[in-house]
Amino acid sequence: MGRRPMLDRERLFAEALLLVDEEGAEALTVTRLARRLGVRAASLYNHVSGREEIIEGIRDLVVTEMDLEALDAGHWPTALTLWARSYVAAFARHPNTIRLLANTTIRSSLTLEMYERAVSLLEGAGWPKDRVVAVFTAVESFAIGSALDLVAPSVMIDPAGREVPLLSSALAGEHPERAMEAFDLGLSALVAGLVVLQRDGDGRLADGTGDPLDHLVAARHVRHQLDRPELDPDREL
């Protein structure tokens, strides 16, 4: 029988993510992870301090799948749109990590680097320092909810047997792309709303790039610049 690969942090975190993907956040314990790796639980402590550090390792792996370079773009509405799309795609591939990561303090270096880029982008575009965290958090929160919607059951609202004719009629036009269309609509509206909020007293953007309606159009069509298969949570990486 061949020897198991040597245990290191990279293998440990990769197996932890796989465990959460397959069995859910509740399954992530040091004991269960050690069993999957074929080692004693005590061996993991040679590489990590405990479960919290394992969670941050999982966070790093999910963030690795996001387009952080999008945040380096000069045009902030497009940058946030591209980042949000990659954010949704990453979490749609790993939906079981959402509750796990949302309930722990963020300390991972890669995630902090991502936020640093977001702050640089927004401050460079003229957003006040005391608003930038709220701006990227608003986009992030919407993306997380959209990721859950993308992996939800195909039928989320079932009015069968109920007297809700308007709702039933509206649902009759639903199709498999409903969740993605809802994400597209919501993201466009969110970014357009942020553009309007950033307007200064003379009705122009703080970075002087023109009418906010132009950015609404850009937000609605920026998805055509992307490789849409990347948004498929089931595609192989």
* CB atoms inside a 10 Å sphere around CB 58: 26
109-120: average pLDDT? 96
Predicted local distance difference test score (pLDDT) of residue 169? 82
Residue 105 pLDDT grade (very low, low, confident, very high; cuts 50, 70, 90): very high
Indicate the average pLDDT of the chain. 83
In a domain, residue 57? The reply is: no
* Domain identity same for 83 and 192: yes
User: Quick one: the chain helix, strand, coil %, rounded to 5?
Assistant: 65, 0, 35
* Domain identity same for 157 and 206: yes
- Cβ atoms of 86 and 66 closer than 8 Å: yes
Residue 229 pLDDT grade (very low, low, confident, very high; cuts 50, 70, 90): very low
* Domain identity same for 41 and 135: no
- Cβ atoms of 198 and 205 closer than 8 Å: yes
CA distance 44 to 56: 15
In a domain, residue 3? The reply is: no
pLDDT above 80 for 132: yes
162-167: average pLDDT? 84
Q: What percent of the chain has pLDDT over 90?
A: 62
Number of folded domains in the chain?
Answer: 2
- CATH number of the domain that 36 lies in? 1.10.10.60
* Domain identity same for 88 and 183: yes
In a domain, residue 214? The reply is: yes
Predicted local distance difference test score (pLDDT) of residue 234? 46
pLDDT above 70 for 224: no
Predicted local distance difference test score (pLDDT) of residue 202? 35
pLDDT above 90 for 73: no
- Cβ atoms of 126 and 198 closer than 8 Å: yes
In a domain, residue 172? The reply is: yes
160-170: average pLDDT? 82
20-34, 91-105, 147-161: least confidently modelled range: 147-161
In a domain, residue 213? The reply is: yes
Predicted local distance difference test score (pLDDT) of residue 203? 34
Q: In which domain, by residue range, is 168 found?
A: 67-231
- What residues have CB less than 8 Å from 87, skipping those under 6 apart? 66, 139, 140, 143, 144, 147
* Domain identity same for 118 and 168: yes
* Domain identity same for 196 and 159: yes
- CATH number of the domain that 81 lies in? 1.10.357.10
Residue 13 pLDDT grade (very low, low, confident, very high; cuts 50, 70, 90): very high
- Predicted confidence (pLDDT) per residue in 176-222, tens digit: 677 888 899 999 999 999 999 887 533 344 554 545 445 544 544 44
Residue 158 pLDDT grade (very low, low, confident, very high; cuts 50, 70, 90): confident
